Amino acid sequence: IKDRSKVLVISGGENISTLEVEGVLYRHPAVFEAAVVAKQSKKWGETPCAFVGLKEGFEGTTKMEIIRFCRENMARYKVPHDVIFGELPKTSTGKIQKFILRETADGKG
């Protein structure tokens, strides 16, 4: 229940749905898994931060490629400011543990 409380990133007064951004990320051909969390920002309050697991054979995909794809497929203010590659932490039932990702995004993990 705790994790469901943060499905919005409020960036510069704009509400950004993490689920919407994740939906765009999943359309990228290199993305195997994705999660978006709020990252604290002095300028914007929060910014979207994407965690991405890549499909086999796409290990050369760059942060800028993912950001460019997002810019082409959503409003610019919704585009993640940061992309972090790697395996996403999951519970024993396979649910992505976003609270761990939030800590990592804010430099606490």
In the chain, % of residues over pLDDT 90: 91
Check residue 6 and give its pLDDT. 73
Which CATH architecture is the domain 2-105 placed in?
Answer: 2-Layer Sandwich (3.30)
The residues, ordered by sequence, that sit 6+ positions from 45 with a Cβ below 8 Å of its Cβ are: 10, 11, 12, 13
Write down the domain spans for the chain: 2-105
**Dihedral of CA 66/6/13/24: which sign?**
positive
Name the residue type at position 109.
Answer: G
pLDDT at 4 over 70: no
Q: Tens digit of pLDDT for each residue in 19-69?
A: 999 999 999 999 999 999 999 999 999 999 999 999 999 999 999 999 999
Rounded to the nearest 10 degrees, the angle between the axes of helix 63-73 and helix 18-27 is 110
Question: What is the reported pTM?
Answer: 0.92
Q: What is the mean pLDDT of the chain?
A: 93
